Amino acid sequence: MQATLEGIRILVLGGDQREVEMVRCLAEQGGEIYTVGHRPYPGYANVVPVESLGPFPEAVPRADAVVAPMSHTDSTGKVRSVPVEGVTIRLDGLLLQRFPPGTPLFIGKALPVVKEAAAKRGIRVFETAEDDEIAILNSIPTAEGAIQIAMEELPVTLHGSRSLVVGLGRCGLTLVRMLLGLGAKVAAAARSRAQLARAKEMGADTIALEALGEAKAAFDVVFNTVPALILTRKLLEKMPKDTLIIDIASSPGGVDFTAAADLGIKAILAPGLPGKAAPITAGRILGRCLPRMILSALSQH
């Protein structure tokens, strides 16, 4: 890999297997990487473990950029996953005040608690999951992960199945393409005429989102990608009981899960698919795309 990160100090706070692979990629590009909550990286002289964040400012090495995980934090700011068990990292005012104002913080998604703490300290927040290049590349392991669940749950092959994809953004379009490739009969629903036209061009049947309730077809599997309540009780009541619903939209998803349970319809909320289905690929995507984001953030300051 190119040594594009030469001389740049990057502090990586926790993560899962994706961030472990990302650390390797960033190190191969010449970055000086400091890790918190990771195991050692034998053979990588430019990856330095930081034993503890400690109570004092000097316990944090000077960092040009801080990277928190794609799986981000809970609502209190606690980083959701850390490779080494027992290490707690909280992205709160106490930690963020140790970085100079203007330091860029990269994180999958910044919940209000992190946004507020960062704003108070002048830390610039960049949500990596919303970067188009990362999101489109991540849609590949995401769609594969969703299809993997469908294959495990369905008593029929996806080939020849009636599959519905709701939402035709980055993940929805990739799902449509993969399902068509598997030989499924795919219908796609979205509110955007342009997205529906794209799905039609790809060979799917299309349904305007507002007309989903009137759709006559029954589906073996419904993949929801819309992060808003779309599969309401009223809509679910019209579905056969053996419809499988896989909701990949960010929490709380787009399905009335209580109604689905009441109606005996299996609905699965499936978060974090890239990290589960293909953590190494997902880590390499971060390792490939983050340097561009880091260099751009540093050049703006």
CB of 213 to ligand NAP, least distance (A): 14
Of all residues in the shown chain, the one whose CB is closest to ligand NAP is: 169
Residue 67: both structure tokens together: 């990277």
CA 101 to chain centre: 27
Residue 15: both structure tokens together: 């993560």
Q: By C-beta, is 219 or 223 nearer to ligand NAP? A: 223
CB of 14 to ligand NAP, least distance (A): 18
CB of 136 to ligand NAP, least distance (A): 8
CB of 140 to ligand NAP, least distance (A): 10
Q: By C-beta, is 113 or 137 nearer to ligand NAP? A: 137
Q: By C-beta, is 14 or 167 nearer to ligand NAP? A: 167
CB of 33 to ligand NAP, least distance (A): 25
Q: By C-beta, is 136 or 298 nearer to ligand NAP? A: 136
| β-pair type (266-269, 9-13) | unpaired
Q: By C-beta, is 9 or 276 nearer to ligand NAP? A: 276
Task: State the residues that interact with ligand NAP by CB under 6 A.
Answer: 135, 138, 142, 167-172, 190-192, 195, 209, 225-228, 248-250, 270-274
